[in-house]
Amino acid sequence: MTEPTVNYASSSLGDDALEAAFEEALRAIRAERPAPQPLVIGGEELHTGDVIVREDPCHAGVVIGAAHVATTEDVTRAVAAAKTAAGPWRRTPYAERVAMLRAAREDIAQEIAYLSAVVSAETGKTRLEAVGEATEVLDMIAHYCDLMIENDGYCAPLKPSGGDTNFDVMVPYGAFAVISPFNFPVALSIGMMVAALVTGNTVVLKPSDKTPRSTAEIAAILRRHLPAGVLNVLNGGAGVGQALAKSDVDGIAFTGSAHVGWELVATRSPSGLPRPVLAEMGGQNPAIVAASADLEAAAQGIVRSAFGLSGQKCSACRRVVVDRRVADDLIDALVRETEKLVVGDPLDRDSNLGPVIDDSIAARIDEAIATAQQDGRVVTGGRIDRPGNFFAPIIVTDLPLGHRLTREELFAPFLAVTAVDDFDAALAEANAVDYGLSAGVFTGEQAEIDRFLDEIQAGVIYVNRAAGATTGAWPGVQSFCGWKLSGSTGKGGLGLWYLPGFMKEQSRTFAGQQ
């Protein structure tokens, strides 16, 4: 099977063989009783300890993933194994590290249908979203490996002085904890792992307890090509993540909620010395729609970004801020686009959305709907009367300015529309949150585009993009950086400046000519 060309702006797989392979794999996954994923410490697979299970969010009681849970002692041993492997791995020439990761990429490319089906089974993603994620894995590995080669391993000559020869070199920190989320269990885990590994760090990976199988499957492919101890895997929930953060790892890479991310930033290492925490966190992302906008394009881009993966993306469009003069027309267009979407089982080719991941998110949505009915108006959407946590996408209007449903991240297929008087008010409202991940604008006025680019407080921005108002970043095509509470470093993945975050700078001067 050839590599798919699907990305997050695609509207179909466009490949009948891939469609059929995905369906066959998903049916098989649902029919089997999976063995628990092991812990992996120093190259040894350990089938011990308590077991967590993951049920298919489309079919309660159907277990599609399981994993052994790490203890505090396991955390200590895994970090020690990563530190032991760190020296030899750091000294491995970067071209050899790149070759190992590219070889793993080739193996992954042969497993796209299966990996996509595992992701779909654990998360409820549609086939288009799941294959898009698996395809992103391929481009993520290629992009980071290419960056390492293009930058000569991040070693650059400086000006000679007094007969001395000088170099600026980036060197790895050592052992990195990688704590990955449920919503992109293969793409985001690979992104953080490969960035750490290609730059010469070893890794202790903790998958989300909601998606233990997806992340374990992708990690197992990587491990085939790496020396023992370079990649270790610890399963479990928040307690395992906290123990890992409190260990003496040399750095932490994390994607998830702002609450957890900033706790990780504040967690001191046992030595008390500073260490990097590369955290990409949530968003309360706005799309501004000006009076001059193409409303049909705006509605398409907003709906695509608001409701893909049932709104469970950190970059999802959460809020629309629209000029009052066109608000009613835009709302009508949004409802038309939204009500075209089919919510159902990913096995159904017609499904555009699956269920939300679990009962806790579903309960928050139920509460938000009740609040919206009390304080505003629910225009469309709500819980679907069928087993499981299925929701028709929800659009809410008429909430008071500053209402908490427009300020707090819900992580759900829930869109709030706020009407304002002019573009000044739209920018002010768009920026009036503590998050700053992504944002979009729809306008026909260049002056408004210029103001948006200059004044919006977000790291990922899109202009007049019907393919996705606030979503769709792709490795090497867009960068993905959170500002404000959405990111801890001011730099993000997918782009040009992520890899240096996994390294520290060293100046080297050699007396005389070298």
Q: Tell me the pairing of strands 165-172 and 51-55.
A: unpaired
SS3 assignment, position 481: coil
Q: Tell me the pairing of strands 435-436 and 202-206.
A: unpaired
Distances in Å between the alpha carbon of 59 and those of 56, 245, 292, 355, 386? 5, 34, 45, 10, 11
For the chain, helix, strand, coil in percent to 5 are 40, 20, 40
Distances in Å between the alpha carbon of 357 and those of 125, 210, 271? 9, 8, 38
Q: How far apart are CA 351 and CA 315, in angstroms?
A: 22
SS3 assignment, position 172: strand
> Which helix (H) or strand (E) element contains residue 80?
helix 72-91
- Sequence letter at residue 235: N
Q: What are phi and psi of 31, to 5 degrees?
A: -85, -20
User: Which pLDDT score is estimated for 514?
Assistant: 54
Per-residue pLDDT of the chain (514 residues; tens, 9 = 90+): 678 788 888 888 888 999 999 999 999 999 998 999 999 999 999 999 999 999 999 998 999 999 999 999 999 999 999 999 999 999 999 999 999 999 999 999 999 999 999 999 999 999 999 999 999 999 999 999 999 999 999 999 999 988 899 999 999 999 999 999 999 999 999 999 999 999 999 999 999 999 999 999 999 999 999 999 999 999 999 999 999 999 999 999 999 999 999 999 999 999 999 999 999 999 999 999 999 999 999 999 999 999 999 999 999 999 999 999 999 999 999 999 999 999 999 999 999 999 999 999 999 999 999 999 999 999 999 999 998 899 999 999 999 999 999 999 999 999 999 999 999 999 999 999 999 999 999 999 999 999 999 999 999 999 999 999 999 999 999 999 999 999 999 999 999 999 999 999 999 999 986 5
Burial 415-435 (b: 16+ CB within 10 A, else e): bbbbbbeebebbbebbbbbeb
CB 453 within 8 A of CB 243: no
Q: Tell me the pairing of strands 277-280 and 251-255.
A: parallel
Q: What stretches of 92-186 show up as alpha helix (H) in DSSP?
A: 94-109, 112-123, 127-150
Q: What are phi and psi of 282, to 5 degrees?
A: -80, -175
Directed axis angle between helix 112-123 and helix 212-223, to 10°? 150
Residue with tokens 């500053």: 402
Just list the catalytic residues. Answer: 280, 314
Q: How far apart are CA 50 and CA 40, in angstroms?
A: 15
Edge to edge, the sheet with strand 277-280 lists 44-46, 39-41, 231-233, 202-206, 175-179, 251-255, 277-280
User: Which pLDDT score is estimated for 513?
Assistant: 65
SS3 assignment, position 487: strand
Give CA angle at 140 (119, 7), nearest 5°: 60
Displacement of CA 265 from its chain's centroid (Å): 18
| CA R_g for the chain | 23
Distances in Å between the alpha carbon of 97 and those of 200, 222, 354, 393, 412? 8, 12, 38, 44, 39
Q: Tell me the pairing of strands 483-484 and 435-436.
A: antiparallel
User: Which pLDDT score is estimated for 362?
Assistant: 95
